[in-house]
Structure formats: structure tokens, C-alpha cells
Structure 1
Amino acid sequence: MIALGAMSGTSTDGVDVAAVQIDAKTQEMRFLGVRSTEFPPDLKQTLLSLQEIPPRFPLGADPIAILLEARKGLTEVYASTVGDLLSFLGLESTDVQVLGAHGQTLRHRPDLGYTYQMLDGALLATRTGIDVVNDFRSKDIALGGQGAPLVPAFHQAWLNGKGVYDQTAVLNLGGFSNLTVLNGQGQPLAGGDCGPANCLMDLWAQRAFGLSMDSDGEIAAMGSPDDTLLERFWTHPFFHQPWPKSTGRDDFNVQWFDQCLADSDNLSSEDVMATLLALAVRAVKSCLPVLVEQVYVCGGGAKNSTLINQLRCECSPADILPIENLGLPAQAVEAAAFSWLAAQYLLGVAGNSPSVTGAGRPAILGALHRAL
């Protein structure tokens, strides 16, 4: 079957849609292609506002209407990107069996028993003419799990298909970082979220430099990490919890960030950026098992050479390698994962990894919206 996966992550920069061919019997996979679309500036700002606690709306505005309009706008970007990918691959919607769509995370509080990824699955199915599976995280949460990360099971399936079974990790550097650790054939997966990666650096790039991001870590490379500020960041309780754990902007919000920055006026903006990059590296290193020999990196942060070089220094002797070595573009991995998860739904196969999320049992994930 041909399955598509669509993902917009916590960096809130846009949508990635990937196509994967999956053998229903053997689960062998072949990557077909990916297309990405940046969010229009107004939609991006609304999505970021909706993720703030409390959200920032104009006085007298209707917050529910704002949310619903943003959901429609987000879904339309998903649909147009699906159309771009189909055109690129020369496919029709009837050639595709399913579209797995993650949606935009607005709240993630497994400790309170809920998570919310905004998307209009019915509208997406109607616009694309493809059956849509979305709302992947809720079932795992209902079973007492974290609901995240869900990509480790896909990482395992993809790496096993390449003959890789143990002493290997996959590191996703999105808005937040997460790790998948393969412990050998027949052994349970390990993994979980590590902490902030791009999200705080993007916030600081916008606030201090008027930029959407620190491209290639150039700003961080001009500064020096400040130990006092780094330790202040590190007092966040999330860093000191064992797996299973997951996080998001609920935990690492603007208010927390500003409190940490108090009394740091003596630092240059470049030093703050360098400290945020050091925090991202430290979060990964604190979760990486010592027996791991190779780490395949994916996500937007894989393009940040300053970040990758620091990871190579701090995580030695483990080799830091590009996920492209295993036949997947770095930006396509999470989208490809949701194509695989949607295929598992159609096949009636569990998609979560209880050893990673802490759920009470394996479960089929998602909710189906028929195109017809």
C-alpha cells in the first residue's frame, strides 16, 4: 500500500508530508518522497498564540472562533501540501490507501490525562479524497501512557529493515528532542523526550534578533554558554524525571523562560543563544545510554551544524550520523512515521510502544475519517 503521513511539530514552522510504500504482509518499506509548506505568517502567529498559557488574543475576541478558524487554516495547509506531493510523485488520490495526519499540538498534559492535536480530519479527508487517520495520541493517554513519543515504533521498524537492531539510537531534533534506543532483537524499545531543542532557540532568535531561527547555529557560535544561566534552566523538574516522560510548550513556556532570564542582563544575546544550544545538547546527553554506539539524527535541528558538532563532542564515543545514511531525509522522518502509524491502523496492528510511553498495553492508535 501507499501511505502518506503529515506532520506539523512543536517548532510550528510548517507542514511536512511524506509518502511511503509499505508491504502489508512483510512490513517492508520504501520511501517515495516528501514535500513541505511553511505556514503563512498570520496562521503561524495564531498557532503560537494558541500554544501560550494563557493564549494571547485581542481584547473582546472569541477564543473558540479563533481556534476553529486556525484549525480550518491548518487543515487547508495540510491538504495543499498533500496535493503538492501527489503532483510531484505523479499519483492520484485513488493511488493512496491512507493519510496519517498528526495535527498541531496545542496542549500536552499526560499527567492530567489529556493531549490535544488540532486538525479537522473530516475536512482533510474531503479535501484530499483520501481516508484520514488522526488523533493518534489519545488512546495511549487513555491507557495511562504519555501519548508521546509515538515515532519510536516506526524508527525500530525502519532500522530493522536496514539490518540495524541494537546499540543504536535515533535522535529527533524538533522543537523538542526525543530519543529512540534499540536494545537488540526481541528486547523492548527504550526512549522518550529529552527536552527543548529548537523551540527556545527559535523564540530567542525572534525576540533578540528579529529572525525566525538561528540558521545553522551561527548566532550561538558567536557566543559562549553561561554556566549560571545553564544551571538555572537545568533546575526544571522535567530534566530530573526518568523515562517514560514527554514534554512540550506547556512545561517550557514563555513565563518559565523569562523567569530563568531574570538577572541575566549582563549576558549578550549571543551568549544566551549559546546557552540555549548547550541546554539542548545537555538534555540529549543526559538521556543517551552509555552503550549506544551510533546515533542517527533527524528533524530540523539536523541542519544546525553548530548543534551537531556540539553533540559530537559531548556524546562521544557514540557516532553522530545523518539519518540519510538509512535512506530517509531528516525532515521527512516524523511525517513518514505517521504514514506508518496510519497503515498500522488499517492493518489492525498496535502502533504504540508501551515500554516507551508507559501505556498499560499495546493499542491500535488513531481515529478514521472516510473520504467518501
Structure 2
Amino acid sequence: MPGVRTAIGLMSGTSMDGIDVALLRTDGEGFVERGPFLGVSYDPAFRERLKTALEQAKTIKNRQERPGDLAAIERELTQRHATAVREFLQQNAMEAGAIDVLGFHGQTVLHRPDEALTVQIGDGALLARETGIATVYDMRANDMVHGGQGAPLVPAYHAALAANIGDAKTPVCFVNIGGISNLTYVGADGTMIAYDSGPGNTLIDQWVEAHAGIPFDQGGMIASEGHVVSELAERYLASPFFTAAKRRSLDRNDFLPPLGRDAELADGARTLAYVAAASIIKSAGHLPVTPALYVICGGGRLNKVIMRDLAQLAEEHRATVISAEEAGFNGDAMEAEAWAYLAVRSLEGLPLTYPGTTGVREAVSGGVLEEAIDADDP
């Protein structure tokens, strides 16, 4: 099909649990053909390295700076992505030459939209050299140059998927519950609005790791044994973030845990699961029309407690909540697919962000292209 490219998207999100790899054939516009997916988990030692990167990045004033061990961590992160690409190709009996472009997110270590500063570590030139595949990376920066928040970028892909839901109710709202949650509203007339909606899994992950020594609450099992501590939930939901007239992009540290010693393990996890769900509905109050359908993707959709709370809260507004799988998609793969889609749009010079998604002054493209270079070339 003319204009259709084969792309691999690579996502390492705010949960820092691993690399998502997804294949997509697309023209960067209305044609989307989803392919296989692979999740590659980080080992605990490397997750600790990424936590170190977050701490060291706090001193960055210029986005090219790499203080402390950040340059070494960036190189290791990139090498791990290259290994993940090779593993993906091998599992699917594909050659690197069959892939037109990699969409490389990297790892966000600092995001301060009010200062027009965002840093995603990941060496695009090294990844292109290691894989032999052209790579588009650093896709957030140009949005900030033009007055945007640098996030979220996934909405362009959500809009393409919305057309494939069939007889779904409208307006539809895609919600990605990752470390930070974000939503994309697609109106009956195609109007697109998107913004970060609040804390997703990050607070829960931090809580159970600190109190139980495990990285996350699998399936919401811990939360299911607790109860919501209303006073603590209200502290989170009283944040000015939810009432401010201007929607803003969030950093994983914007909602610091106030729980302290005020809750037991299960009650803390249960309270934070409720906060994750309530944040979405509260943030949706800024939309022009109440969504009729919420399509939930990201790791948070696997937390049964979050999903149950979200369904109950949405029902109060006569809305339905379904998982990405119930809509015919892969909720694990969606963000990685989006980065493949955005890479193709970048190659075509098409917009990645819009005034209604990031607050950018006008729709702009973005990304840096590194051409494929054989590792054996001088």
C-alpha cells in the first residue's frame, strides 16, 4: 500500500518496569494495522539504576546535561532497547531490513513543563547503529519549543483508533493508566482534547515497595484486602491540579505520598487505587461533554480494584468503562504502538501534538531522525 511503513515502537514508561516493543504498519494517518507485541522486564538492579537516574536528573538545567552516572545509565538503557529489538525480530522471524523506522521513547527522568524542560534519556544514534534501523527519538522537545507541555503525545494515535471502535458510544475517552494517567477525548465530530489526569500506578507502586518490598500490587490483590481511608483520599483529590483552569502535564514526583504512617499496607494500597480512579473522573470534568465510553489501557487496567472503582464512579455519570481488549485492542501494546505511529508521522512531517492536546500554540511535528548506520561502518 503506497505510503504505508512498517515501524516498531519502543516504550519505557514512568513505572520503569521494562520495555514494551510493538509492530505497526501505518501511513501515519487513518490506516493502522497492528502487529505482534513483546514485553521485556527490567531486572531489579537496573530498576534501581533508573531510580538513581531520577535523583541525579533533578539538578539538570540544560536538557543536554548528564550529571553523575546519567550518561552511563543512558548508554545501558539504549543497549537494552537494542537487545529488545533484536529479540523481537528473532521471535517474529523478521530481519532488520523489513523495518522502516523505530520510534524510541527513551526514559523520562525529568519533566518540568512550567520551565519548558523535559529530558528523556536514550541515545537515538547508538540505537540506530546497534540495530541497523533508522530511529526517531526525542519527540517531546519540539512541542515545548512551541509553547506546549510536552505531553501527552499518544492522543494522535488514540484518535486513529477511535475510528476503528465501530458502533461505540460517543464521545469516547481513552485513558492510559501508567505511572501517571492521561486521557484522550474524541468527540462525535472528531474534536480531540487530551491531558494528564492524575496519579496512576506510581503512588501505589511506591507505597507497596516501601512497605512490602515488592514493585507493584499485582492485580490489586493487596488493595482488595483494605478499605479506603477517606481523609487520606481527600488530601490527594484536594490538589489544586484538579481545579486549575489550565490542564498541565505531570511529573511522577508531583503527587508525593502523604500517607506516611497513617495507614496499614492494604488500606494504603486501597486508598491509592481509589485515588487513581477518582482522579480520572475528576479530571474528565474539564471536558466539554461527559464521555459516554471510557476505554482503559496501560498497566492500571489490570488492577481490578482500580477498574471496579472507575466503573462505579463513571456509572454515576451514565458512562461505561471497558478495557482496551474489550474494544478490540491490546492494552499492553498501545503506548508502544503509539510511538511507532508517531515515528511515521514524524517522517512524514505530520503533527504529533495539537493545541487541544498539549497546549502548543499550533499543531507541530517533532522528533529527531537518526539514519540507519551499519555498526561495522567506519
TM-score (structure 1 length as normaliser): 0.91
CA drift of 1:235 comes to: 3.4
Instruction: Show structure 2 runs of 5+ residues with no match.
Output: 60-65, 374-378
State the one-letter code of the partner of 2:237.
Answer: W
Q: CA RMSD in A?
A: 1.9
Cα distance between partner residues in 1 of 2:26 and 2:57: 42
The answer (yes or no) to whether the contact 2:162–2:172 under 8 Å persists in 1 is: no
| CA spacing shift, 1:229–1:184, aligned 2, 3 Å | same
The answer to whether residue 137 in structure 2 is matched with residue 134 in structure 1 is yes
Query: Partners of 1:335 and 1:134 in 2: how far apart?
Result: 13
Match 1:196 to one of 196, 199, 222:
199
Matched residue type, 1:343: V
- 3-state SS of the aligned residue for 1:35? strand
- Structure 1: how far apart are the matches of 2:72 and 2:346? 29
Q: CA deviation at 1:161?
A: 3.8
Alignment partner of 1:346: what SS? helix
Distance in 2 (alpha carbons) for counterparts of 1:127 and 1:17: 16
Measured after TM superposition, the shift of residue 222 of structure 1 is: 0.9
Residues 1:13 and 2:17 are matched in the alignment:
yes
Asked if structure 2 preserves the Cα contact closer than 8 Å seen for 1:8 and 1:102, the reply is: yes
The aligned counterpart of 1:340 is 341
Judged with a 3 Å threshold, the aligned counterparts in structure 2 of structure 1 residues 245 and 297 are, in CA distance, closer, same or farther, namely: same
Q: 1:188 and 1:215 mapped to 2: Cα distance?
A: 36
Partner Cα separation in structure 2 for residue 165 and residue 133 of structure 1? 35
1:49 deviates by: 2.5
Matched, 1:245 2:248: yes
Residue by residue over 1:129-173, the C-alpha shift from the partner in whole angstroms, topping out at 9 and shown as x without a partner, is: 110000010011111111100101110012224446941010101
Task: Count residues with an aligned counterpart.
Answer: 357
Q: Distance in 2 between matches of 1:47 and 1:360?
A: 33
**Cα distance in 2 for residues equivalent to 1:53 and 1:309:** 38
Structure 2 Cα separation of the partners of residues 351 and 232 of structure 1: 35
Residue 158 of structure 1 aligns with which residue?
Answer: 161
Tell me the secondary structure at the aligned position of residue 364 of structure 1: coil
Match of 1:184 among 170, 183, 188: 188
Paired with 2:35 and 2:57, the residues of 1 have a C-alpha distance of 41
Q: Determine the C-alpha separation between the residues in 2 that align with 1:282 and 1:350.
A: 32
Tell me the SS of whatever aligns to 2:333: helix
1:294 and 1:325 mapped to 2: Cα distance?
12
SS of residue in 1 equivalent to 2:325: helix
Contact 2:57 2:67 (8 Å CA) reproduced = no
Instruction: Report how far residue 55 of structure 1 moved.
Output: 6.2
Q: 2: CA distance between counterparts of 1:31 and 1:243? A: 34
Matched residue, 1:29: 32
1:103, CA displacement in angstroms? 0.8
Distance (whole Å) between structure 1 residues aligned to residue 121 and residue 192 of structure 2: 28
**Partner residue of 1:59?**
none
What letter corresponds to residue 303 of structure 2 in structure 1? N
Q: Does 1:78 align with 2:81?
A: yes
Distance 1:109 1:343 in 2: 27
Render the CA deviation track for 1:180-204: whole Å, top value 9, x for unaligned: 011123x431121011110110111
Match of 2:330 in 1: 329
Give the whole-Å Cα distance in 1 for the aligned partners of 2:195 and 2:117. Answer: 18
For the residue of structure 1 that corresponds to 2:97, the secondary structure is helix
Q: Determine if the alignment matches structure 1 residue 278 to structure 2 residue 277.
A: no
Larger helix fraction of residues:
1
In 2: Cα distance, 1:197 partner to 1:223 partner:
18
Aligned partner of 1:293 in structure 2 is 292
Instruction: Tell me: CA distance 1:122–1:201, structure 2 relative to 1, closer, same or farther (3 Å).
Output: same
Q: What letter corresponds to residue 271 of structure 2 in structure 1? A: T
Residues 88 and 115 from structure 1, CA distance in 2 versus in 1: closer, same or farther, beyond 3 angstroms? same
* Letter matched to residue 30 of structure 1: E
In the alignment, which residue of structure 2 is the partner of 1:174? Answer: 178
Deviates more, 1:41-50 or 1:89-98: 41-50
* Secondary structure, aligned partner of 2:163: helix
The residue number in structure 1 matching 2:366 is 365
Q: More deviation in 346-355 or 242-251?
A: 242-251
Contact in 1 for aligned 2:153/2:353 (Cα 8 Å): yes
Q: 1:229 to 1:162 in 2, by over 3 A?
A: closer
Distance between the aligned counterparts of 1:165 and 1:118, measured in 2?
39
Cα deviation 1:266-301 (Å, max 9, x = unaligned): x32211111111111111010225631111111011
The one-letter code matched in structure 2 to 1:298 is: C
Q: The residue matched to 1:315 in structure 2 has which SS?
A: helix
Distance 1:211 1:113 in 2: 34
Q: Which amino acid aligns with 2:362?
A: R
Counterpart-to-counterpart distance in 1, 2:238 and 2:290: 27
Question: Is 1:261 matched up with 2:259?
Answer: yes
